[in-house]
Amino acid sequence: MTKIQNFKMYINGLWVNSESGKTIETVNPENNEVWATVPEANEKDVDKAVKAAQNAFEKSWSNLHPRERAKYLRSLADQLRQNAEHLGTIETIDTGKIFRETKTQANYIAEYYDYFAGLADKVEGTVVPIDKPDMQVTTTRIPIGVVAAIIPWNSQMLLTAVKLAPALAMGNTVVIKASELAPVTLLEFAKLVEKSGIPKGVVNIITGLGEPCGKALTTHDLVERIAFTGGPETAKHIVKNSAENLSQVSLELGGKSPVVVFDDAEQENALNGITAGIFGASGQSCIAGSRLYIQSKIYDDFLNKLIAKAEKIKLGAPMDNETQMGPLNSYKQLENIEKNIKATIEQGGKIRCGGKRSNISSKAYYFPATIIECENHNLPTAENELFGPVLSVMKFETEEDVIKLMNDNKYGLSSGVYTSNFGRGLRVSKAIRAGITFVNTYRLISPMAPFGGIKDSGYGKEAGIESIKEYTRIKTTWLNSSDKPMTDPFTMG
């Protein structure tokens, strides 16, 4: 039997249970056994966290010089590097993602805190060339206030960093809600926040369900900004909730990212990029390249090479360094994948490899790398986000045809283009309606590069120099430089 560990939330610099005493069980996807419990926050817990953040905002954090805030961010970055292996281990146990990736990502995420620490004192105002004599008008960027950050389970450290780092750099305070599917990683991260010396109340991390915890957080009247990553359906509820407090909202949602391989592409590079894009992290990524278009001239040869590569991917225990794909996080994902594959086959799709759950474990939800040929991209696996290692493949003839096909989807997060023709790469990347396009590469991140989508993939950008401004408001100041009194407003003519 797995020894169950009990974790607490981090509110106002203290480790606390929920007001109700209720807890949520979290499961290790490798064996589907409960390995930890976390508090199930209710409205009272949310209120405590938000008020702690508001108090810290008013009395300390927003008043610090940006360089002082930057020191705390760099301290947090150091803690991440020193504890990357431990944090990676916890994330692997809690999510099922392979340890090689979680450890590497935890270490790299430190770069985000260093990057935004460097920007903390670089955000400048302006002098407005005003049309009124004797008036000087300036604009400055001021912090917003309390930020609610809602984080999914699949890339917790990254999706926390792109919200928390710019928010803190600009003087805001934050309440983070961890996903109920894998909340422990962020509670372990809270220990690093504490070690970094960040003052109490500046960062608060709570755990709970969408109802009541998530709703209470996104409707709280002291929350000024909501930064959400997750699914479109939940996002619609959050947008409605934001009407209660008129908070600013940014949404990083799902994707059904198209990838195109032209007949002049360097094939080994394309094969590696496609494999990383859809089978990395077992396909549990919002930018997974799950729709593949191959030009007809190379279609059969390239597809056969891709199938051979996919069939060699090793499934196994997430902590094993030989493992290339771990289990799916939950039965809900497995059920959704199987339902969509079944419907696609009934409508004419053809499984070329994978397609059925693996039998390597009777306890975990392992699903092999799967490739399905589709006559068109209106079939379920080609149209719907599956959040798993399933690639739908289609044939195309011309550049004009494939641009139309790639844009014919409700999502618009990521996309990929493989070609040796520089001009074509430029043309197609400009024509694709997506927030991100990778040309001759895929699935890369950087604190310097903006991340975010369009259409049903949401709005707002995370990372990059412009994203830090989204955690500020513009304040206009009028200064009268004249020694003369203002004109009497009631004297006419």
Q: Which residues are catalytic?
A: 252
Cα separations in angstroms, 228 against 381, 414, 426: 26, 18, 31
Residue 323's beta-bridge partner residues?
Answer: none
Token representation of residue 400: 């004009």
Amino acid at 178: A
Q: DSSP 3-state assignment of 232?
A: helix
The C-alpha atoms of residue 179 and residue 349 are separated, in whole angstroms, by: 34
